[in-house]
Amino acid sequence: MIKLGLNIDHVATLRQARGARYPNLVRAALICEEAGADAITIHLREDRRHIQDADVEVLRGMLQTRMNLECAVTEEMIANALRIKPHDLCLVPERREELTTEGGLNVLRYFDAVKSACERCADAGIRVSLFIDADNAQIDAAVRAGAPVIELHTGKYADADSVPARAYELERIRAAVEYAHGQGLQVNAGHGLHYHNVQAIAAIPNIVELNIGHAIIAESVFIGLDAAVRKMKDLIRPL
Ligand SMILES: CC(=O)[C@@H](O)[C@H](O)COP(=O)(O)O
Ligand SMILES: NCC(=O)COP(=O)(O)O
């Protein structure tokens, strides 16, 4: 069954909006796990706009499932990950001024840094995932860099504003999953997935895990976090 990684950055965004102590991130993570989340995803951004360093420390000691820590490929972030030792480390591109993660990591361009990060993390027992676009050249580079896992960026699919455009992006993702799976990679996917667009992605064979955050946290405003997680788990369950 397809796994659900729950991105709780957006709970921290709400907290940081007021610089308050609530909503409590550990409480959110534990509710998500209780409701069926298979992993908790957090993105420690360089600008610390939502997740803080202390959140990573505390959550690492509290999670019952897996921590999937997302970060940029910088010396600061890799050193931090080697100290924290999350179960999974997902390397993502970052532009300080972006609203959200706009595209996949360019593994070809930053190959030496990515390969070095993969090697150092593998030595420390951390599984590295590369957050990349559905592009065979990037997939090949991920293999050469030694990453055991990729996460395909589904943002273009989620943002497609016509039926043909969405079908085109869906097919690109399907083909990339098939190609990457054939190369021996574990394939995850995520970004911008919500209750109305997730099922077509979840139906693609060989996707192991979907990382979803914004839509679930938004829905929790209306129906509660536990129910919002369960509602998503029901949708991604095979028919
Ligand atoms: C890499 C990724 O897709 C998520 O971490 C996403 O970026 C989280 O939301 P923000 O873009 O708001 O940080
Ligand atoms: N890596 C993608 C992720 O963690 C979730 O992104 P979103 O659902 O918050 O857009």
| Residues facing 88 on adjacent strands | 68, 127
User: From the alpha carbon of 155, which atom of ligand 2 is closest?
Assistant: 10
Query: Which residue out of 33, 94, 169, 191 is catalytically annotated?
Result: 191
Q: Is 65 in the pocket of ligand 1 (CB under 6 A)?
A: no
Q: How many CB atoms lie under 10 A from the CB of residue 40?
A: 28
Cβ burial of 93 (10 Å; 0-12, 13-18, 19+) is buried
- Give the domains, in start order, of the chain with CATH numbers: 3-236 (3.20.20.70)
Q: What is the pLDDT of residue 59?
A: 98
Cβ burial of 112 (10 Å; 0-12, 13-18, 19+) is exposed
| Residues facing 190 on adjacent strands | 153, 211
Residues with CB under 6 A from ligand 2: 7, 41, 131, 151, 190-193, 211-215
ipTM confidence: 0.94
What is the CA(44)–ligand 1 centre distance, in A? 9
Tens of each residue's pLDDT in the chain, 239 residues = 999 999 999 999 999 999 999 999 999 999 999 999 999 999 999 999 999 999 999 999 999 999 999 999 999 999 999 999 999 999 999 988 888 888 999 999 999 999 999 999 999 999 999 999 999 999 999 999 999 999 999 999 999 999 999 999 999 999 999 999 999 999 999 999 999 999 999 999 999 999 999 999 999 999 999 999 999 999 999 76
Contact assessment for residue 31 and residue 11, using Cβ atoms and an 8 Å cutoff = no
What is the CA(43)–ligand 1 centre distance, in A? 6
